[in-house]
Structure 1
Amino acid sequence: MEKLNEYLSKYKGFVFPTYILLVEHIDSLQNFEIRDSDVFLVTYGRSGTIWTQNIIMSICDSECTDETEFPNNMKKMPWLEYPPGNMDYSTRASPRFFTSHLNTALMPPGLREKKPKIVYVARNPNVSYFHFYRVWTKLETPRSFQEFLQEFIAGDVGGSSWFDHI
Structure 2
Amino acid sequence: MEQITDFLYRYKNYNFAIGPTTAEYIDSLQSFDIRNSDIFLVTYPKSGTTWVQQIIISIFELDGSLTKYPNNFEQMPWLEYKVDPQDYALRPSLRLFASHLTPVLMPPGLKDKKAKF
TM surpasses 0.5: yes
Q: In structure 1, what is the Cα distance between the partners aligned to 2:43 and 2:114?
A: 19
Q: 1:11/1:62 Cα in 2 relative to 1: closer, same or farther (>3 Å)? A: farther
Q: In structure 1, what is the Cα distance between the partners aligned to 2:64 and 2:10?
A: 36
**So what's the TM-score if we normalise by structure 2?**
0.92
1:62: Cα distance to partner? 4.4
Q: In structure 2, what is the Cα distance between the partners aligned to 1:86 and 1:105?
A: 24
For residue 111 of structure 1, what is the aligned residue in structure 2? 110
Moved more, 73-82 or 41-50: 41-50
- The aligned amino acid for 2:40 is F
Instruction: State the Cα RMSD in Å.
Output: 1.1
Q: Which residues of structure 1 form unaligned runs of 5+? A: 119-166
**So what's the TM-score if we normalise by structure 1?**
0.66
For residue 54 of structure 2, what is the aligned residue in structure 1? 54
Secondary structure at the counterpart of residue 116 of structure 1? coil
The higher-RCO structure (CA 8 Å, 6+ apart) is: 2
1:24: Cα distance to partner? 1.4
Q: Contact 1:79–1:98 at 8 Å: present in 2 too?
A: yes
Q: In structure 2, what is the Cα distance between the partners aligned to 1:39 and 1:76?
A: 12
1:19 aligns to 2:24 (yes or no): no
Identity of aligned residues (%): 51
For residue 132 of structure 1, what is the aligned residue in structure 2? none
- The aligned amino acid for 1:117 is K
Aligned pair count? 115
Q: Which runs of 4+ in 1 moved over 4 A?
A: none
For residue 71 of structure 1, what is the aligned residue in structure 2? 70
Secondary structure at the counterpart of residue 58 of structure 1? helix
Q: In structure 2, what is the Cα distance between the partners aligned to 1:72 and 1:56?
A: 13
Q: 1:18/1:98 Cα in 2 relative to 1: closer, same or farther (>3 Å)? A: same
Q: In structure 2, what is the Cα distance between the partners aligned to 1:73 and 1:55?
A: 11
Q: Contact 1:50–1:73 at 8 Å: present in 2 too?
A: no
